[in-house]
Amino acid sequence: MTQSSNEMWTVTIVVPEGSSLDEAGETYDLEVGTDETILATARSAGVWLPADCQQGWCTTCAARLVDGDVVHPNARRYYDEDDEAGYILPCTAKPRTDTTIVVDQHDDFLEFRAANDRPPGNSKLNG
Protein backbone atom coordinates (compact mmCIF):
# COMPACT_ATOMS: atom_id res chain seq x y z
CA MET A 1 0.00 0.00 0.00
CA THR A 2 1.38 3.38 -0.92
CA GLN A 3 1.12 6.14 1.55
CA SER A 4 0.49 9.58 0.17
CA SER A 5 2.20 12.57 1.68
CA ASN A 6 0.11 14.42 4.19
CA GLU A 7 2.37 17.44 4.37
CA MET A 8 0.42 20.65 4.85
CA TRP A 9 1.34 24.17 3.81
CA THR A 10 -0.12 27.53 4.68
CA VAL A 11 -1.43 29.24 1.56
CA THR A 12 -2.30 32.89 2.00
CA ILE A 13 -4.88 34.05 -0.52
CA VAL A 14 -5.09 37.79 -1.10
CA VAL A 15 -8.18 39.10 -2.90
CA PRO A 16 -7.35 42.57 -4.30
CA GLU A 17 -9.35 45.58 -3.17
CA GLY A 18 -10.46 46.31 -6.71
CA SER A 19 -11.66 42.77 -7.39
CA SER A 20 -15.25 42.16 -8.45
CA LEU A 21 -15.37 39.13 -6.16
CA ASP A 22 -17.48 39.30 -3.00
CA GLU A 23 -14.26 38.66 -1.08
CA ALA A 24 -12.54 41.85 -2.39
CA GLY A 25 -10.05 43.20 0.11
CA GLU A 26 -10.00 39.99 2.18
CA THR A 27 -7.02 37.78 2.98
CA TYR A 28 -7.34 34.11 3.91
CA ASP A 29 -4.84 31.67 5.39
CA LEU A 30 -5.65 28.10 4.38
CA GLU A 31 -3.93 24.82 5.15
CA VAL A 32 -3.41 23.04 1.84
CA GLY A 33 -2.04 19.52 1.56
CA THR A 34 0.73 18.56 -0.84
CA ASP A 35 -1.77 16.52 -2.89
CA GLU A 36 -4.55 19.12 -2.87
CA THR A 37 -5.13 22.01 -5.24
CA ILE A 38 -5.37 25.53 -3.90
CA LEU A 39 -8.70 26.08 -5.65
CA ALA A 40 -10.39 22.96 -4.24
CA THR A 41 -9.16 23.69 -0.73
CA ALA A 42 -10.30 27.30 -0.94
CA ARG A 43 -13.75 26.32 -2.15
CA SER A 44 -14.04 23.71 0.60
CA ALA A 45 -13.28 26.48 3.06
CA GLY A 46 -16.02 28.66 1.56
CA VAL A 47 -13.72 30.97 -0.41
CA TRP A 48 -15.32 30.92 -3.84
CA LEU A 49 -12.45 31.76 -6.18
CA PRO A 50 -13.17 32.11 -9.91
CA ALA A 51 -12.69 29.02 -12.05
CA ASP A 52 -14.14 27.30 -15.08
CA CYS A 53 -12.37 24.27 -16.57
CA GLN A 54 -10.49 23.26 -13.40
CA GLN A 55 -7.95 21.52 -15.63
CA GLY A 56 -5.34 24.22 -16.08
CA TRP A 57 -6.66 25.08 -19.52
CA CYS A 58 -8.97 28.11 -19.63
CA THR A 59 -6.91 30.50 -17.39
CA THR A 60 -10.04 31.80 -15.60
CA CYS A 61 -8.51 31.07 -12.19
CA ALA A 62 -5.17 32.84 -12.87
CA ALA A 63 -3.36 34.24 -9.84
CA ARG A 64 0.01 35.78 -9.05
CA LEU A 65 2.52 33.97 -6.91
CA VAL A 66 3.88 36.50 -4.45
CA ASP A 67 5.86 34.11 -2.29
CA GLY A 68 6.51 30.39 -2.10
CA ASP A 69 6.46 27.56 -4.58
CA VAL A 70 3.77 25.49 -6.31
CA VAL A 71 3.68 22.73 -8.90
CA HIS A 72 1.14 22.12 -11.67
CA PRO A 73 1.37 18.37 -12.34
CA ASN A 74 -2.03 18.14 -14.04
CA ALA A 75 -2.33 21.47 -15.84
CA ARG A 76 -3.24 21.01 -19.49
CA ARG A 77 -1.34 24.10 -20.52
CA TYR A 78 1.05 25.90 -18.28
CA TYR A 79 4.24 27.33 -19.77
CA ASP A 80 7.72 28.02 -18.48
CA GLU A 81 7.18 31.74 -19.10
CA ASP A 82 4.04 31.67 -16.90
CA ASP A 83 6.18 30.27 -14.13
CA GLU A 84 8.98 32.77 -14.73
CA ALA A 85 6.50 35.68 -14.69
CA GLY A 86 4.98 34.48 -11.42
CA TYR A 87 1.56 33.42 -12.68
CA ILE A 88 -0.12 30.29 -11.37
CA LEU A 89 -3.36 28.41 -12.04
CA PRO A 90 -4.87 27.63 -8.62
CA CYS A 91 -7.21 24.97 -10.07
CA THR A 92 -4.22 22.70 -10.59
CA ALA A 93 -1.56 24.34 -8.41
CA LYS A 94 -0.35 22.33 -5.42
CA PRO A 95 1.90 23.95 -2.81
CA ARG A 96 5.41 22.82 -2.05
CA THR A 97 6.12 25.48 0.55
CA ASP A 98 4.12 28.04 2.47
CA THR A 99 2.81 30.26 -0.29
CA THR A 100 1.12 33.61 -0.85
CA ILE A 101 -0.96 34.33 -3.95
CA VAL A 102 -3.03 37.23 -5.27
CA VAL A 103 -6.14 35.95 -7.03
CA ASP A 104 -8.46 37.34 -9.73
CA GLN A 105 -5.68 38.04 -12.26
CA HIS A 106 -7.42 36.66 -15.33
CA ASP A 107 -7.44 39.87 -17.37
CA ASP A 108 -3.73 40.53 -16.80
CA PHE A 109 -2.89 36.93 -17.53
CA LEU A 110 -4.77 36.97 -20.83
CA GLU A 111 -2.74 40.03 -21.86
CA PHE A 112 0.44 38.27 -20.78
CA ARG A 113 -0.37 35.13 -22.74
CA ALA A 114 -1.28 37.18 -25.82
CA ALA A 115 1.98 39.14 -25.56
CA ASN A 116 3.83 35.82 -25.47
CA ASP A 117 1.81 34.40 -28.38
CA ARG A 118 0.30 31.71 -26.17
CA PRO A 119 -3.35 30.58 -25.96
CA PRO A 120 -5.98 31.60 -25.18
CA GLY A 121 -4.45 35.11 -25.42
CA ASN A 122 -5.62 36.88 -28.53
CA SER A 123 -8.56 34.61 -29.27
CA LYS A 124 -10.22 35.56 -25.96
CA LEU A 125 -9.09 39.18 -25.96
CA ASN A 126 -10.52 39.82 -29.41
CA GLY A 127 -13.39 37.34 -29.30
Q: Which is nearer to ligand FES, 54 or 99 (CB)?
A: 54
Q: How far is the CB of 20 from ligand FES (least distance, A)?
A: 16
Mapping DSSP to helix (H, G, I), strand (E, B) and coil, where does residue 65 land?
Answer: strand
Q: Which is nearer to ligand FES, 1 or 49 (CB)?
A: 49
E-strand spans in the chain?
A: 8-14, 27-33, 63-67, 70-71, 87-88, 94-95, 99-102
Are residues 78 and 105 in contact, defined by beta-carbon separation less than 8 angstroms? Answer: no
Which residues would be at the binding site for ligand FES (CB under 6 A)?
A: 51-54, 56-61, 89, 91
Q: How far is the CB of 119 from ligand FES (least distance, A)?
A: 11
Residue 36's CB is within 10 A of a number of other CB atoms, namely 17
Q: How far is the CB of 14 from ligand FES (least distance, A)?
A: 18
Q: Which is nearer to ligand FES, 32 or 61 (CB)?
A: 61
